[in-house]
Amino acid sequence: MTPQTDESPLVDDIAARIRARIMNGELAIGKPLRQAALATEFGVSRTPVREALRQLQNGGLIEMQPNRGAVVRVPAPWEVRQAYEVRAELEGMAARRAASRITESGLAALREHNAVLCEAVVRAAGQRTGGGSATEGGSTTTTAANDCFHTVICEAADNPWLTRMIDRINESFPRNVSSLALAGDERHRQLNIRQHEAVIEALAAHDADRADALMREHVISSGEHLTAWYERRSQTVFHG
C-alpha cells in the first residue's frame, strides 16, 4: 500500500473531527487552526493535519490567510443569501413531496421538535423576567430540534438525491450559527415557530402547494436573518 492510501483514513478522520467542532461552534468563525496544536491534540504528525485542513479548505469551511494560516472561514453575506435561495427551492420540493407521504408519527415528531423550540422561548422569557441571561436560543438542544424538524420532512419526501443536496448546503455553514442568530432576536424566534406550525398544518392537510410555498418562505426568511447576522459579525469575529 502507498503512504497516501495508508494515511487517507487518518486524514478523513481528522477532517471529520475538526469539521464536527466547527459545525457545533466549538471552533468559532475566524478562529485560527494551528497545525502544531492540532497534531499534538490528535497525537499525529503535522502531515495528516495539513492534509485534513486542505480537505476542509476545499469544502469551504476554512481558508488560508497570509501570516495567519488556516482559519475557520467567515462566509460572505452574499454567499449565505445565495445558498439559502437554493435551499429554499430544495426544501420547498421536499415539503411538496412530504405532503402526500408523511405519516401521523411524522407529524407528531414535527410537533414535538417545534414544541422544544417553543419551550425554549418561554424559558428565555422567564430568564429575562427574573433578571437572568437568556441563552436558550443558542443551545445545542434547540439547534438539534430545529435540524430534526427539517430532517423529518426530508425523510418523508423519500428522495435520497434531494436529501443529499440539502445536506450539502447545510454542511457549508456551522450548524450552531442559525441558533445563535435567533438567540438575540425573540421576534424572529417566535416567527420561526409560527412558520413551522404553518408548515405542519399544510402537511397535515396534505396540501402540497401550500406546504411548498410556506417552506420556501420560511427558508428565505431564515436566510435573510442569517445573512444579516453574518453582516454584523463579519467585522467583529475572532482575530486572536
Cell (9 digits) for 51: 492534509
% of residues, the chain, pLDDT over 90: 55
Beta strands, E only, the chain: 62-65, 69-72
- What's the rounded Cα separation, in Å, for the pair 226 and 232? 10
- What's the rounded Cα separation, in Å, for the pair 190 and 123? 13
Cβ 55 vs Cβ 8: under 8 Å: no
Amino acid at 51: E
pLDDT above 90 (res 29): no
pLDDT at 235: 55
pLDDT at 142: 86
pLDDT at 27: 85
Overall pTM surpassing 0.85 (yes/no): no
Q: What is the pLDDT of residues 76-123, one digit of tens each?
A: 889 999 999 999 999 999 999 999 999 999 999 999 999 999 998 888
pLDDT at 197: 98
Amino acid at 233: R
- Chain CA centroid to CA 41, Å: 26
pLDDT band of residue 230 (cuts 50, 70, 90) is: confident
- What's the rounded Cα separation, in Å, for the pair 34 and 219? 35
Q: Is 43 left (phi over 0), alpha (psi -120 to 50) or beta?
A: left
- What's the rounded Cα separation, in Å, for the pair 233 and 80? 13
Cβ 190 vs Cβ 121: under 8 Å: yes
Cβ 19 vs Cβ 70: under 8 Å: no
Residue 71: strand pairing partners? 32, 63
> What's the average model confidence in pLDDT over 136-155?
84
- What's the rounded Cα separation, in Å, for the pair 178 and 170? 11
> What's the average model confidence in pLDDT over 179-202?
88
60 vs 38, 39, 152, CA distance in Å? 19, 21, 27
Cβ 150 vs Cβ 196: under 8 Å: no
pLDDT at 153: 98
